[in-house]
Chains A and B, each alone.
Chain A
Amino acid sequence: KAGVTQTPRYLIKTRGQQVTLSCSPISGHRSVSWYQQTPGQGLQFLFEYFSETQRNKGNFPGRFSGRQFSNSRSEMNVSTLELGDSALYLCASSLQGAGSGNTIYFGEGSWLTVV
């Protein structure tokens, strides 16, 4: 059974640009959560999608957005990139959702560098 797949793995963007990251969950998982990880802040929750609906959102500005498709694949977008957005972006999938006591399984992440 394939794990969580994230693309691209590495990318470099310039301040002011926008970026889209993609996540394919484990087959049969309907929930996708996104996290930002930086050395100083640890793993910070961005948002969770379940059956194409955003169920919860963390404390991030509106520049961070996401969506989920009918096949449970998810994308997140960051517009008007800032240097502080440089981070590892992790996607995690689960059967019924991260808040329901289900184990969440992480993808390998997308390393974003903003210059």
Chain B
Amino acid sequence: GQNIDQPTEMTATEGAIVQINCTYQTSGFNGLFWYQQHAGEAPTFLSYNVLDGLEEKGRFSSFLSRSKGYSYLLLKELQMKDSASYLCAVSGNNDMRFGAGTRLTVKP
């Protein structure tokens, strides 16, 4: 089976940097995904890691360590519009399973 853990809530200040951690246990692994979900909307794709290391995409970066079952999403230069839930998801075993999500609140 799969077990995916991430913090429930985080708060950060506009312009700052925040790191959202995700740990996972899975019997099959074909990649780790991060999705962003604003309240009342569908999740949208942010990033994908399948090899160890850091993937950078603008203000967002994602890191993966397969041996540790660990990933993080790094958001730089936070903006108010970044207030949303961030979902960590593991692909493998004919499905993609999601963590419960981290609700990020960005304050002025």
Question: Taking beta carbons and an 8 Å cutoff, which residues of A are in contact with B?
Answer: 33, 35, 41-43, 45, 48, 55-56, 58, 90, 92, 97-109
CA distance A105 to B42 in the complex (A): 9
Not counting A33-B95, A58-B95, a sample of 4 additional A-B residue pairs whose C-beta atoms are within 8 angstroms of each other reads: A45-B95, A90-B42, A104-B45, A108-B42
Q: Is B91 within 8 A of A99, CB to CB?
A: yes
Answer yes or no: B33 CB below 8 A from chain A CBs: yes
Task: Enumerate chain A residues within 8 angstroms of B98, measured Cβ to Cβ.
Answer: 35, 42-43, 45
Task: Enumerate chain B residues within 8 angstroms of A43, measured Cβ to Cβ.
Answer: 43, 87, 98, 101
Question: Taking beta carbons and an 8 Å cutoff, which residues of B are in contact with A?
Answer: 28, 30-31, 33, 41-45, 48, 50, 87, 91-101
Q: How distant is A113 from chain B, measured CB to nearest CB, in Å?
A: 14
Contact of B96 among A41, A99, A109 (CB under 8 A): A99
CA distance A58 to B95 in the complex (A): 9
Task: Enumerate chain A residues within 8 angstroms of B91, measured Cβ to Cβ.
Answer: 98-102
